[in-house]
């Protein structure tokens, strides 16, 4: 992989970067009813190679939507098409600002030789999340309240599995993340009891869903991306801390895409619940060995 990786893209370069300012609930409508079909069409017609989104507050909530063009000459066509799709949302003030900006790659975070592979992960993760959001809208509202948390647990487990972590490694990984979030939120005994209650209320469902391999998320595209990243990190003898940081960044960004509010709280609960799950699984594995 080339060391001459481009760090910054201006409007008109290979990456087109939108900031779409809107309400929380409108953002999910835009993702499922506008961005999902729009990007599917652009890929099919070979206008873009990939795309991804993240949710952000600066301090105002917005979607950051990035598209990698196959040919810079087509930027006018893509902007025109997207403007048409958003017109009614802008006129009704559901989208109250639409901006095009420079895209600065987070090379320090994702690594020089793994940055482009990381963008592939973001792309396939964005597809996975928008497909889930689009599917969950058709379900019973009671199901949605549980299916999103369950889906997020399965998503985290998918990343840990694809990065080749054993159950005991998954346990220590979750413990580190959970402990750092406990500190961040200054979690006390009452908070811990609340999280314990969430876990106990859904324990049966959590175990059933996470242990059922027929029900796990199958995303061969993400697996292929991560396999390539692992190949690079092994060739470069990347320190374990850097790989760990990479995994936690992917998981954090994935949960960011899934939830439109209280993301850090959702992360904390996910990490705590998975820590309990892995702890139980590891101890049962040990018992079975004796």
Angle between helices 240-258 and 167-185 (to 10 degrees): 70
No. of helices (H) and no. of strands (E), the chain:
11, 6
The Cα–Cα gap between 250 and 9 comes to 22
Residue 188 is predicted with a pLDDT of: 86
Residue 199 is predicted with a pLDDT of: 86
Residue 146 is predicted with a pLDDT of: 52
SS3 label, residue 70: coil
End-to-end Cα, the chain, rounded Å: 47
- The tokens describing 106, both together, are 């987070």
Tens place of pLDDT per residue across the chain (290 aa): 445 799 999 999 999 999 999 999 999 999 999 999 999 999 999 999 999 999 999 999 999 999 999 999 999 999 999 999 999 999 999 999 999 999 999 999 999 999 999 999 999 999 999 999 998 765 544 444 458 888 999 999 999 999 999 999 999 999 999 999 999 989 888 888 888 888 888 888 888 888 877 767 778 999 999 999 999 999 998 899 999 999 999 999 999 999 999 999 999 999 999 999 999 999 987 777 75
CA dihedral 225, 229, 231, 233 (to 10 degrees): -170
CATH 3.30.70.100 fits domain 13-104: yes
Residue 228 is predicted with a pLDDT of: 98
The Cα–Cα gap between 190 and 202 comes to 19
Q: Label residue 40 left, alpha or beta by phi (over 0 means left) and psi (-120 to 50 means alpha).
A: alpha
Residue 121 is predicted with a pLDDT of: 98
- The tokens describing 21, both together, are 């300012």
Which residues lie below 8 Å from residue 103, measured CB to CB, with a gap of 6+? 8, 9, 13, 15, 17, 66
Residue 143 is predicted with a pLDDT of: 43
Residue 286 is predicted with a pLDDT of: 78
* Cβ-contact 210, 277 below 8 angstroms: yes
User: How deeply is 87 buried, as exposed, middle or buried, from its count of CB atoms within 10 A (0-12, 13-18, 19+)?
Assistant: exposed
The Cα–Cα gap between 102 and 91 comes to 25
| Residue ranges of domains in the chain | 13-104, 108-289
Residue reference for tokens 């952000």: 56
Residue 37 is predicted with a pLDDT of: 98
The stretches of 186-215 forming alpha helices (DSSP H) are 189-211
């Amino acid at each position: 992989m080339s060391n001459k990786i481009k760090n910054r893209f201006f409007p008109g370069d290979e990456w087109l970067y939108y900031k779409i300012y809107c309400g929380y609930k409108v953002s999910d409508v835009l993702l499922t009813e506008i961005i999902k079909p729009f990007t599917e069409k652009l890929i099919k017609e070979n206008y873009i190679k990939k795309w991804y989104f993240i949710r952000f507050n600066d301090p105002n909530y917005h979607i950051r939507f990035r598209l990698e063009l196959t040919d810079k000459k087509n930027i006018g066509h893509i902007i025109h098409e997207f403007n048409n799709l958003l017109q009614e949302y802008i006129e009704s003030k559901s989208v109250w600002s639409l901006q095009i900006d420079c895209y600065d790659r987070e090379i320090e975070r994702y690594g020089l030789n793994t940055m482009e592979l990381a963008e592939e992960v973001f792309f396939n993760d964005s597809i996975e999340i928008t497909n889930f959001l689009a599917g969950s809208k058709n379900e019973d509202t009671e199901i949605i309240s549980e299916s999103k948390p369950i889906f997020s647990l399965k998503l985290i487990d998918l990343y840990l599995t694809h990065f080749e972590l054993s159950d005991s490694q998954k346990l220590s990984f979750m413990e580190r993340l959970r402990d750092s979030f406990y500190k961040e939120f200054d979690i006390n005994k009452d908070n811990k009891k609340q999280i314990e209650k969430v876990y106990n209320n859904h324990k049966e469902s959590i175990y059933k869903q996470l242990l059922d391999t027929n029900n796990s998320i199958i995303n061969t595209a993400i697996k292929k991306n991560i396999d390539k990243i692992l190949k690079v990190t092994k060739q470069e003898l990347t320190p374990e801390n850097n790989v760990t940081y990479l995994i936690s960044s992917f998981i954090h960004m994935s949960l960011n895409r899934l939830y439109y509010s209280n993301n850090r709280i959702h992360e904390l609960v996910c990490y705590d619940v998975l820590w309990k799950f892995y702890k139980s699984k590891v101890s049962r594995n040990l018992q079975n060995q004796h």
